[in-house]
């Protein structure tokens, strides 16, 4: 299936595995790339040396294109961008909109820039600054999320920009891919579906918690880091929601200290990143402090296998996923389902012309 996304990036299938912290490491990314989709390496939870090593490990496992997800507001963003350029990574993706200067630097080096957005105006801004494509996530998506459903947000963005649009939030199979293409997207991005594969390094006991979840077991809370965060409902999440503000802030200070030790960052660097986060998302100081909870609480579940001590970011699709295929099996299944779905669609009556194709959205 050829789309504007496959042409742009050079992958065989219009499917993207998102850069999930503690989850999207070299094994998952390389397995995704070898399956013909675009794997995105998560760098925010890596030190700078770990990032370079991870990129080289992915390169040793695959010759296919892949990407690296970066935090545009991180104090060491320039250094991480330098690694992406030096290591000749195909795609740089961003959770927050990168600056015009950062986009220009990457594009001058031949790196494709694909920011993630949650609103039409953000898509318009990064497109005007030269982004090569944009990933738009609706409220169904896992992790930090918005309130607007993908089916409403996606057409808005498609109509607003003339670059390829990748749809995220609520996708897990071939039917969803076809639906996204019908709404004007050039492909779909999935996080939870790739987390629940045999190539994912998430501990088995944590995967079992995801597989056992129903749609109603996926909730949105602000009690982890002060921002709307979609995750599995657990006893810990319920306890966090019942805890008072002093306890929450104390927990955030402990987690900030733990993350500082693991990352090797100085307190001054953490404060600088907090200031950038506050400006970028218009957060209160309490929310900035609470943001320190996210990486360590995710690590407790995704790395240490302790869902009783950590949180499990999740899209709503966790409630309809029932197996753990390999990345190769998953991508092959999605493309087969997409083909079968397209084959079942009614044919346009004779004499009814198809709408003119818009620039950058060939499917």
- The answer to whether residue 363 is domain-embedded is no
- The answer to whether residue 169 is domain-embedded is yes
Considering only residues 267 and 8, tell me which one the structure prediction assigns the higher pLDDT. 8
41 and 107 belong to one structural domain = yes
Tell the burial category of 210 from Cβ atoms under 10 Å away from its Cβ (0-12, 13-18, 19+). buried
pLDDT tens digits, 33-66 = 999 999 999 999 899 999 999 999 999 999 999 9
pLDDT tens digits, 200-223 = 999 999 999 999 999 999 999 988
Q: Is the pLDDT of residue 260 over 70?
A: no
214 and 332 belong to one structural domain = no
Q: Is the pLDDT of residue 296 over 80?
A: no
130 and 114 belong to one structural domain = yes
pTM higher than 0.85: yes
User: What does residue 356 show for φ and ψ, rounded to 5 degrees?
Assistant: -65, 145
What pLDDT sits at residue 332? 98
- Per the structure, the complete domain to which residue 307 belongs is given by 204-317
Please state the domain count of the chain. 2
What pLDDT sits at residue 1? 93
Average pLDDT over residues 90-96: 94
Q: Is the pLDDT of residue 362 over 50?
A: no
19 and 44 belong to one structural domain = yes
Question: Please, are residues 188 and 18 in contact by the beta-carbon 8 Å criterion?
Answer: no
pLDDT tens digits, 107-147 = 999 999 999 999 999 999 999 999 999 999 999 999 989 99
- The answer to whether residue 87 is domain-embedded is yes
- The answer to whether residue 278 is domain-embedded is yes
Instruction: Determine what percent of the chain falls in helix, strand and coil, rounding each to the nearest 5.
Output: 50, 15, 40
Q: How confident is the model at residue 289 (pLDDT cuts 50, 70, 90)?
A: low
Considering only residues 172 and 251, tell me which one the structure prediction assigns the higher pLDDT. 172
User: In whole angstroms, how far apart are CA 294 and each of 67, 91, 105?
Assistant: 23, 25, 30
pLDDT tens digits, 316-358 = 999 999 999 999 999 999 999 999 999 999 986 766 555 555 5
229 and 171 belong to one structural domain = no
């Amino acid at each position: 299936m050829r789309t504007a996304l496959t042409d742009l990036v050079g992958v065989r299938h219009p499917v993207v595995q998102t850069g999930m912290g503690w989850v999207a490491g070299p094994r998952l990314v390389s397995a995704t790339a070898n399956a013909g989709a675009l794997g995105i390496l998560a760098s925010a939870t890596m030190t700078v040396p770990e990032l370079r090593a991870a990129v080289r490990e992915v390169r040793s496992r695959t010759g296919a294109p892949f990407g690296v997800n970066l935090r545009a507001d991180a104090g060491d963003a320039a250094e991480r961008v330098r690694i992406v350029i030096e290591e000749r990574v195909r795609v740089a993706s961003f959770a927050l909109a990168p600056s015009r200067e950062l986009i220009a630097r990457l594009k001058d080096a031949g790196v494709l820039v694909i920011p993630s957005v949650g609103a039409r105006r953000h898509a318009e801004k990064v497109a005007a600054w030269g982004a090569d494509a944009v990933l738009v996530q609706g409220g169904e998506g896992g992790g930090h999320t918005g309130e607007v459903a993908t089916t409403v947000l996606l057409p808005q963005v498609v109509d607003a920009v003339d670059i390829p649009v990748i749809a995220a939030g609520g996708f897990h199979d071939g039917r969803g891919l076809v639906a996204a293409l019908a709404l004007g997207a050039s492909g779909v991005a999935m996080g939870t579906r790739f987390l629940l594969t045999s190539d994912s390094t998430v501990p088995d006991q944590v995967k079992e918690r995801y597989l056992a979840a129903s749609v109603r077991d996926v909730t949105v809370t602000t009690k982890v880091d002060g921002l709307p965060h979609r995750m599995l409902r657990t006893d810990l999440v319920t306890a966090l929601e019942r805890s008072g503000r002093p306890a929450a802030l104390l927990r955030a200070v402990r987690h900030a200290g733990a993350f500082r030790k693991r990352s090797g960052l100085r307190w001054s660097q953490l404060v600088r990143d907090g200031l950038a986060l506050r400006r970028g998302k218009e957060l209160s100081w309490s929310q900035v402090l609470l943001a320190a909870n996210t990486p360590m609480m995710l690590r407790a579940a995704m790395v240490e296998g302790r869902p009783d001590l950590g949180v499990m970011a999740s899209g709503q699709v966790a409630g309809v996923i029932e197996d753990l295929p390999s990345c190769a099996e998953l991508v092959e299944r999605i493309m087969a389902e997409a083909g079968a779905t397209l084959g079942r669609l009614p044919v346009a009556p004779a004499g009814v012309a198809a709408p003119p194709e818009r620039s950058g959205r060939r499917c």
